[in-house]
Chains A and B, each alone.
Chain A
Amino acid sequence: MIYFNNVSKIYQPDSVALEDVNLTISAGEFVSIVGHSGAGKTTLVKMILAEDKPTSGTVFFESVDIHDLRNKDLINLRRRIGMVFQDFKLLSNKTAYENIAFAMEAAGKTDEEIASDVPHVLELVDLSNKIMHFPDQMSGGEKQRLAIARAIINQPEIIIADEPTGNLDPVNTYEIIQILKKINDLGTTVILTTHNKGVIESIKKRVVTMDKGKVVRDDKDGKYVI
Chain B
Amino acid sequence: MATIGLKRIIRSGWVGFSRNGIISFASILVVTITLSVIAGIIFSQAILASSLNEIKNRVDITVYFKLNTSETEISNFQSALEQLPEVAKVNFVSAEQSLQNFKEKHANDYLTLQALEELDDNPLGAYMTVKALEATQYESIAKSLGSNSVLIKNSADIIDKINYNQNKAVIDRLISLMGGAKKLGFLLTLLLMIVSIIFTYNTIRLTIFFSKEEIGIMRLVGAGGFYVRGPFLVQGVIYGFISSLVTLIIFLPIAYWLGKDMTGFLGLNVFDYYLANFWQICLIIFGSGIILGVFSSFLAINKYLK
A: residues with CB less than 8 A from B are: 49, 51, 71-72, 75-76, 78-79, 83, 89-94, 98, 102-103, 105-108, 110-111, 150, 154
Contacts and interface: CB of A to CB of B under 8 A. Distances in A.
Interface in B10-34: 12, 15-16, 19-20
A71 B213 CA distance: 19
A152 to B, nearest CB: 12
Contacts of A91: 214, 217-218
Nearest to A89: B217
A79 B220 CA distance: 9
B232 to A, nearest CB: 13
Interface in B208-267: 213-214, 216-225, 227
Contact of B1 (A90, A94, A108): A108
B223 A102 contact: yes
A49 B217 CA distance: 13
B192 to A, nearest CB: 35
Contacts of B214: 91-93
Contacts of B20: 93
B4 interface: yes
Q: Identify whether the interface residues of B are mostly helix, strand, loop, or mixed.
A: helix
6 contacts: A78-B221, A89-B216, A90-B217, A93-B16, A105-B227, A111-B4
A86 to B, nearest CB: 14
A72 B226 CA distance: 11
Given A90-B217, A92-B214, A93-B19, A103 B222 contact: yes
Contact of A103 (B8, B19, B221, B225): B221
A121 to B, nearest CB: 14
Contact of B220 (A76, A78, A94): A78
Given A92-B214, A105-B227, A83 B220 contact: yes
A49 B19 contact: no
B102 to A, nearest CB: 80
Given A105-B8, A106-B227, A89 B220 contact: yes
B218 A106 contact: yes
A71 B19 CA distance: 30
Nearest to B16: A93
Contacts of B220: 49, 51, 78, 83, 89
Contact of B4 (A71, A78, A110): A110
Contact of B222 (A90, A92, A106, A111): A106
A78 B217 contact: no
A93 B219 CA distance: 16
Contacts of A71: 225
B222 A107 contact: yes
Contact of A83 (B221, B223, B227): B221
